Amino acid sequence: MKTASVSETRQQLSSFLNLVKGQQEDVVIQNRGRAEAVLIPYADYELLQAARTKRRRQQALEELRQIALEINERNKDMPQEEVERLADEIADEVIENLVKKGKVTFREYK
């Protein structure tokens, strides 16, 4: 791993890009002695983005699970027919909104 100041990076950006691309070496960019950013190979960036997306999805799933637990606790005395009716109503509303936004279309199959 190479370390360079902002001014060095400005002056040698092409060579740093070649270093990152060719030798797969990261370049840490410092501003006043503190690490501020890193030049990394694009393949590594794609892996980082995939990991971030996975983490966000896991967090969202966990939040949804928590919400489901809270709703189940609040509605534990609700009859099953009422639960199913509400679920159908919500699903219909979501589908209707997706159709209005053009995100979903329906075709007849013969």
- Give residue-wise pLDDT tens across range 33-59: 999 999 999 999 999 999 999 999 999
List the chain domain ranges: 2-40, 44-100
Q: What's this model's pTM, rounded to 2 decimal places?
A: 0.58
Query: Does residue 103 carry a pLDDT above 90?
Result: no
Query: Does residue 72 carry a pLDDT above 90?
Result: no
pLDDT of residue 11: 96
Beta-bridge partners for 3: 28
Query: Does residue 78 carry a pLDDT above 90?
Result: no
Q: Which CATH superfamily is domain 2-40 in?
A: YefM-like domain (3.40.1620.10)
Query: Does residue 108 carry a pLDDT above 80?
Result: no
What burial class does residue 93 get, using C-beta atoms within 10 Å of its C-beta: 0-12 exposed, 13-18 middle, 19+ buried? exposed
